[in-house]
Structure 1
Amino acid sequence: MNVTPLVWAITIAVTIVFFVYEFFAHVRKPHEPTIGESARWSAFYIALALLFGVGIGVVSGWTFGGEYFAGYLTEKALSIDNLFVFLIVMASFAVPKIYQQKVLMIGIVIALVLRGIFIAVGAALIENFTWVFYLFGALLLYLAWHQAFAHDSSNPADGRFMRFVRRRLPVTDEYHDDKLTVRMDGRRWVTPMLLTIIAIGFVDLIFAVDSIPAIYGLTEEAYIVFTANVFALMGLRQLFFLIGGLLERLVYLAQGLAVILAFIGVKLLIHALHKNELPFINGGEPITVIPEVPIWLSLLFIAVTIAVATVASIVKTRGARRIPAADRVAAGVTETDAREDRAVR
């Protein structure tokens, strides 16, 4: 896939313009979006992402188009998991609903910047060290196990990192509109709004660790990795308000993502064997006994896994929405522990 510096420059410029527009058109004036507004914009961004993928397929070939769609689906699913932790963080800090858009917007921008850095580092590693596929594959298998089986009830807003931040910064007890800092009694204080943003930025860093290796397991094209991440994050703010209630019902999302991460981890290890240069493995010669997983199979597997996890979650929680939260936890209806644990670690 031949992507010129001009195409990169235009893509990055359009991305920046998009977020600037989002801020001034929707976020600058505090308000809680309506369901209709959220639905329209969510549909628009999803349609835009699909149209872009078709464009890649037409211009560069459907192998790259398939890689984009597989990457987009994976990143979108991981972003929804990220969104779930955002919900927990904002609930912990009791962020007023009219200010949640601003927190989400800043969190999404931080996520994109961090992922951009990870994408650049990942591309450089892949270009110079083929053994990095072993590292990525092993990392994804560990993250898959952790996603599926780790259980820790700790809260990301009250973890060790946030306790450290609180000890270092003077924090007010109340919000002061959507200000991040405020001057009182001749001293500059930090508001809970800034603490929320710091917590979300920390969560973004953790999620970038599994997000970028996962998509590099589906494509080695940095441009596809970047654009799939951009489109996965576009509309995430609106999606938060659209499916906020549904998030609590996606009790099998963690398990579904674990299966996807494990699948991509195995795919990466197979790819590493095909490119093997490590002298202590088969004398430094490639191992091609196991065929590589084709992109169409990856796309199908990811789509089916997400669909099964979603349908199973809705069936599991049918009729449970009116049950008190404590009773649902006792009955095993919710699965938030693993997600909260990932955010703290």
Structure 2
Amino acid sequence: MGELHLGFEIAALVVLVTILLVDLLMVLKRPHLPSMKECAGWIGFYVSLAIVFAVVLFFVGGMEPASEFVTGWLLEYSLSIDNLFVFIVIMSKFAVPKKYQQEVLMVGIIIALIARGLFILAGAVIIDNFAGVFYLFGLFLLWTAWKQTQEEDDEDSDSFIMRTVRRMFPVSDSYDGNKLRTVVDGKKLFTPMLLVFVTIGLTDVMFALDSIPAIFAVTQNPFLVFTANLFALMGLRQLYFLLGGLLERLAYLHYGIAAILGFIGIKLLIHAIHEAPLDIIPGFSVLQKIPEVPIWLSLSVIVLSMAGAVVASLVFAPKTSTTADAADDEGGSGAER
């Protein structure tokens, strides 16, 4: 057991992508600000769907693919929460009308999913031909974990993306409903909506540089890697609205993410030692006695790190005043200039 049939993988991807597209069409047909009840319902649906999918994997392929999927899904879901902070900044800076924020997030997620799919294919090819890449992945994740602990403000990098995109496209100063193009003084211009779509998509691609190497430490099966990313992104839009201002209170969340990335980085280095031993280094064989990190330990570290960061933030973090929401319900003229 452990191998998944190609027919099952194709059928599963068709069903999951169809669900995502139906979700997108519903948002495009009726743009609105979702209620807390609606968000909780959709998150419950996607979490239940992920659990059902894990059970199906268990019966189809056994414990190994099922446990790898669950661990990869929780890993990607945890790292995706970091994306939400950036999404809040982008929505605020572009003053996206609240009733259109679902549409913006959904299109951005579609863009990110396509980009991650390409990253996963490239990563799988590289791993098959060069096992030593796990050293690079591991070191990169350790560096990323250290950067997380520095509490640097991401606004500079976000603003750089925004300025770069704005220079590439002629953009109007105000929205025109949810249109991508408008006419101002007889001149055809893109609306800030296009700018937001592109910025959200590019930002998530940058986050994928961390998350894709991390999940390859859990499984090298491209199907499991992609489905774990798919399920993590599925619930991300509703999580954005459900958590809302709560994210601003999670002052220590980045330490939890840093702990996860650091642990996964070490796991990748241990895996690299076994898969691509550096025999030219004297005494390297001693390192090969270090056992591989089991899936249950990875899952435990992910859950405990996120739970610990959330509890510490809610109990011990200093209280700060929440920033005003720049995006009003009616739309308007507050796009970044």
Query: Does the alignment reach a TM-score above 0.5?
Result: yes
How much has 1:199 moved relative to structure 2?
Answer: 1.1
Q: In 1, Cα distance between the equivalents of 2:152 and 2:177?
A: 36
Deviations 1:239-275 (A, max 9, x none): 1111112111121111101100000000010110011
Aligned mates of 1:61, 1:281 — CA distance in 2: 39
Alpha-carbon separation, structure 2, partners of 1:156 and 1:212: 20
Q: Which stretch of the first structure deviates more once superposed, 109-118 or 164-173?
A: 164-173
The aligned runs of 1:273-292 (5 Å cut-off) are 273-278=273-278, 280-281=280-281, 287-292=287-292
Give, in whole Å, the separation in 1 of the partners of 2:119 and 2:275: 22
Is the contact made by 1:30 and 1:101 (CA closer than 8 Å) also made in structure 2?
yes
| Corresponding pairs, count | 323
CA contact (8 A) 1:79 1:232 kept: yes
The one-letter amino acid paired with 1:89 is: I
Q: Deviations over 1:112-157 (max 9, x none)?
A: 1111111111111111111011111111111111111152363454
Confirm whether residue 93 of structure 1 aligns to residue 94 of structure 2: yes
**1:26-105 aligned within 5 A:** 26-105=27-106
From the superposition, tell whether residues 186 and 284 of structure 1 become closer, same or farther in structure 2 (CA, over 3 Å): farther
In structure 1, what is the equivalent of residue 328 of structure 2?
none
Q: Which amino acid aligns with 1:203?
A: T
Q: Which whole-Å CA distance do the structure 1 matches of 2:89 and 2:149 have between them?
A: 19
Question: Is the contact made by 1:162 and 1:199 (CA closer than 8 Å) also made in structure 2?
Answer: yes
Which amino acid is the alignment partner of residue 110 of structure 2? V
Alignment of 1:244-283 (within 5 A): 244-278=244-278, 280-281=280-281
- Offset of residue 291 of structure 1: 1.0
Instruction: Report the residue type matching 2:299 in the other structure.
Output: L
Give matches, 1:162-311, under 5 Å. 162-278=162-278, 280-281=280-281, 287-311=287-311
Task: Determine the C-alpha separation between the residues in 2 that align with 1:203 and 1:240.
Answer: 15
TM-score (norm 2): 0.89
Q: Distance in 1 between the 2:29 and 2:260 partners?
A: 37
User: For 2:167 and 2:104, how far apart are their aligned partners in 1?
Assistant: 22
Q: 1:236 corresponds to which letter in structure 2?
A: L
Whichever residue aligns with residue 275 of structure 2, its letter is: K
Contact 2:86 2:154 in 1 (8 A): no
- SS of 1:248's equivalent in the other structure is helix
Q: Once superposed, what is the RMSD of the aligned Cα atoms?
A: 2.1
Gap change, CA 1:62 and 1:5, over 3 Å in 2: closer
Partners of 1:25 and 1:39 in 2: CA distance: 17
Aligned mates of 2:282, 2:230 — CA distance in 1: 39
Counterpart of 1:3, as a letter, is: L
Post-superposition offset of 1:224:
1.3
* Deviation larger for 287-296 or 5-14: 5-14
246-255 or 55-64: bigger deviation:
55-64
Q: Give the CA deviation at 1:212.
A: 0.4
**Which segments of structure 1 move beyond 4 Å, counting only runs of 4 or more?**
282-287
The aligned counterpart of 2:334 is none
Give the residue type in structure 2 aligned to 1:229.
Answer: N
1 CA distance for matches of 2:164 and 2:227? 35
Name the CA distance, whole Å, in 2 between partners of 1:199 and 1:300.
34
Which consecutive residues of structure 2, in runs of 5 or more, have no partner in the other structure? 325-337
Q: Which secondary structure state, in structure 1, belongs to the residue aligned with residue 155 of structure 2?
A: coil
Residue 336 of structure 1 is matched in structure 2 by none
Give the distance between the partners of 1:304 and 1:147, measured in 2 at CA.
Answer: 18
Determine the structure 1 residue equivalent to 2:149.
Answer: 148
Provide the C-alpha distance between the structure 2 equivalents of 1:31 and 1:170, rounded to a whole number of angstroms. 27
**Aligned partners of 1:9, 1:114: CA distance in 2, in Å?**
19
Equivalent AA in structure 1 for residue 288 of structure 2: T
Aligned equivalents of 2:102 and 2:135: distance in 1?
39
Residues 304-333 of structure 1 deviation map (CA, whole Å, 9 limit, x = unaligned): 111111111111348x36x3559xxxxxxx
Give the structure 2 partner of residue 314 of structure 1: 314
The whole-number CA distance in structure 2 between the counterparts of 1:210 and 1:192 is: 28
Amino acid across the alignment from 2:44: A
CA contact (8 A) 2:43 2:239 kept: yes
Is the 2:217–2:267 Cα contact (8 Å) retained in structure 1? Answer: yes
Instruction: State the SS of the aligned residue for 1:2.
Output: coil
CA change 1:14–1:219 in 2 (3 A) is same
State the secondary structure of the residue aligned to 2:249.
coil
Alpha-carbon offset, residue 72 of structure 1: 0.9
Task: Report if the CA contact (8 A) 1:71-1:215 is conserved.
Answer: yes
Q: 1:324 to 1:154 in 2, by over 3 A?
A: closer
Unmatched tracts of structure 1, length 5 or more? 327-345
Distance across 1 between alignment mates of 2:98 and 2:311: 29
Residue 165 of structure 1 and its aligned partner are, at CA, apart by 2.2
324 and 110 in structure 1: CA distance in 2 versus 1, 3 angstrom threshold: closer
Alpha carbons of structure 1 residues 35 and 324: separation in structure 2 relative to 1, 3 Å: closer
2:24 partner letter: F
Among all aligned residue pairs of Structure 1 and Structure 2, give the percentage whose two residues are the same amino acid.
Answer: 48
Of 1-10 and 34-43, the range deviating more from structure 2: 1-10
Instruction: Report what 1:136 is aligned to.
Output: 137
